[in-house]
Amino acid sequence: MTNAAIIGTGRHLPDKVLTNADLEKMVETSDEWITSRSGIKERRIAEPGTSASALGLPAAKRALAKAGLSPADLDAIIVPTMTPDMLFPATACLIQRELGAKRAIAFDLQAACSGFIYGLEVGRQFIAAGTYKYVLICATEVMSAVIDWTDRSTCVLFGDGAGAVVLAPCEEGYGILAAHLHSDGREADLIEMPGGGSRNPATQETIAAGLHYLKMKGNEVFKFGVRLMSMSVRHVLAESGIPEEKVDLLIPHQANIRIILAMAERLKIPLEKIYINLYRYGNTSAASIPIALDEALEERRINPNDVVVLSAIGGGLSWGAVCLRWPK
Ligand SMILES: CC(C)(COP(=O)(O)OP(=O)(O)OC[C@H]1O[C@@H](n2cnc3c(N)ncnc32)[C@H](O)[C@@H]1OP(=O)(O)O)[C@@H](O)C(=O)NCCC(=O)NCCS
């Protein structure tokens, strides 16, 4: 089995900043409520009409440039997203077209906020099996397009953004050491967008009922989040034979500061070893971890040989973690 490592990362955030003060003018909320319940201070919002592929493309190009590759080198493009350009064709094919990555296969991956963790593991499997050499994983989300801007319980939490990585074969002992994926469809209605698919095709009635907006039972997701993300981190560390104290950086899905603090407490990982940027971007769903990873590398929070753990939970429910040793 060939090991796989991340050899390039990139991110792209829209310029427009929506602050908590701005939200105070849109719904009955306050900076104090949003900050104390979620940790979020501001988020980026794409211009109306911006597609997930348009947001993802610059992130993909940056990841390729850092990897020292050209689009023609790519064997596969995986796009984790819950806000695709269209139901079909895949957003990955649209990014492939714009990149000119003629050789690559391209497909979307739907695991909501866990999409990037799922994408990493799928990419790794292609490399481990010897099927492909270079896999681009480009998570891109235009959450603002599926948010009900009159629903204060969800509209304050999410933001838009894209993050991409290139996976490539690496020497033994480096790259992805272990990955742990899980799903539990019994909790499928905790986060959903009920309209626009085959169950509730878009009609004037479904639109009037707001079925094309994201719905979330935030309270219940919260409890699952802490327990399941901590559990999957423990699982990948055990499988890698690495104790908690040897983790150099934990990058959790950036959904809520209280989930992250509770995880830190359970895992006994000190806060200085946890990367947090949610106060600037909110929850960017599948894009949150690769955006944070790219920033962490830029800030030199990750060095060669470091143990880096990524963990996410999202709709489905789906959750998982990946443990990596950063290549030399
Ligand atoms: C959404 C979340 C911040 C809400 O925090 P909470 O402490 O659970 O708050 P509750 O949902 O119990 O709501 C408490 C009260 O605040 C109100 N409220 C909700 N949103 C509000 C807002 N933006 N501003 C002010 N009040 C708000 C509710 O109406 C409720 O009022 P009530 O008690 O009069 O009914 C929290 O549950 C959370 O972050 N969950 C995880 C969500 C998540 O991360 N999802 C993505 C996973 S991928």
Domain ranges of the chain: 3-173, 177-325
pLDDT of residue 328: 87
> What ligand 1 atom has the least distance to the C-alpha of 113?
48
Q: What is the pLDDT of residue 41?
A: 98
Of all atoms in ligand 1, which is nearest to the CA of residue 285? 48
Low-confidence ranges of the chain (pLDDT < 50): none
* Ligand 1 atom 16: residue of nearest CA: 153
For residue 282, what are its two tokens?
């909110």
Q: Which of 286, 285, 318 is nearest to 184 (CA)?
A: 318
Q: Is 283 a known active-site residue? A: yes
The residue annotated as part of the active site, out of 138, 170, 283, 323, is 283
What is the CATH topology of the domain spanning 3-173? Peroxisomal Thiolase; Chain A, domain 1 (3.40.47)
254 pocket-lining for ligand 1 (C-beta < 6 Å): no
Q: Give yes or no on whether 3-173 and 177-325 have one common fold.
A: yes
Predicted confidence at residue 8, as pLDDT, reads: 98
Distances (CA, A) of 174 to 2, 8, 67, 181, 315: 10, 15, 16, 20, 30
Torsion 83-112-152-56 (CA) sign: negative
Query: What is residue 98's predicted lDDT score, i.e. its pLDDT?
Result: 98
In a 13 Å sphere around the CA of 5, the CA atoms on its Cβ side amount to 19
Residue 142, token pair as written in the block: 């235009």
Q: Does domain 177-325 have CATH number 3.90.70.10?
A: no
pTM: 0.97
What pLDDT is attached to residue 288? 98
**What is residue 1's predicted lDDT score, i.e. its pLDDT?**
83
Is residue 24 classed as helix, strand or coil in its secondary structure?
Answer: helix
pLDDT digits (tens, 9 = 90+) for 248-298: 999 999 999 999 999 999 999 999 999 999 999 999 999 999 999 999 999
pLDDT at 36: 97
Q: How far is the centre of ligand 1, averaged over its atoms, from the C-alpha of 37 (Å)?
A: 7
Distance 13 CA to ligand 1 centre (A): 25
Q: Is the CB of 153 under 6 A from ligand 1?
A: yes
